[in-house]
Amino acid sequence: MASMGSEARLYYKVGRVSAGGSFLLAGLVRNVSPEMTRIFADASVRGDSTKRGVVGMRDMTIRVEVMYDPAVATLEAFRAAYFSATSEAGVLALQVLDKLKDGSARGIQGDFVVSSFSKREELDDVQMFEAELRPALTDGAGDVTWITGQ
């Protein structure tokens, strides 16, 4: 049976996956769009009849839309991470999880930095902040991984 996007959850904590503390459910989140790609290096040579290549490094971007409410901690965590003066203080540990019929969840976990942070003020919609997150330089424990059974 298919899962609705509304059943998915975004969890975060300020700091790294390896740091102490619990993940918090992100509040007032509208859309979360993880994009996972692999870099393709062209290895074609003259005389080949088909294009050849090798798969390189993985790349990931997570786009998050959060409704504007100054009282919501999610928005403040993303804002603080973006405006952080040091790379360490700007790290957020994220879990982007779906929900299975048995109540367990699976998805992406890792250390991320906010690479883009913008605000939309459309006339006929609520004010929204959009954040784009990219994998952070990690201590190994925060490498982006696929987790199950949460």
114: in domain? yes
Query: Residues 61-118: pLDDT tens digits?
Result: 999 999 999 888 999 999 999 998 677 779 999 999 987 666 788 999 999 999 999 9
Torsion of CA 80, 86, 89, 91, to 10 degrees: 90
**Residue 118 DSSP SS3:** strand
45: in domain? no
- Could you give the CA distance from residue 97 to residue 104 in angstroms, rounded to a whole number? 10
Query: Residues 17-61: pLDDT tens digits?
Result: 998 899 999 999 999 999 998 888 888 888 888 888 888 888 899
Asked if 93 and 61 count as a contact pair (C-beta separation under 8 A), the reply is no
* DSSP 8-state symbol, 5: G
12: in domain? no
Overall domain count for the chain = 1
pLDDT for 59:
87
Query: Range of 61's domain?
Result: 21-39+55-148
Q: What is the pTM of this model?
A: 0.84
Token pair for 137:
């330089």
100: in domain? yes
132: in domain? yes
1 pLDDT band, cuts 50/70/90, is low
- Could you give the CA distance from residue 65 to residue 135 in angstroms, rounded to a whole number? 18
pLDDT for 140:
76
Q: Which amino acid, 80?
A: A
Which residue has better confidence, 126 or 140? 126
**Residue 74 DSSP SS3:** helix
68: in domain? yes
15: in domain? no
133: in domain? yes
**Residue 80 DSSP SS3:** helix
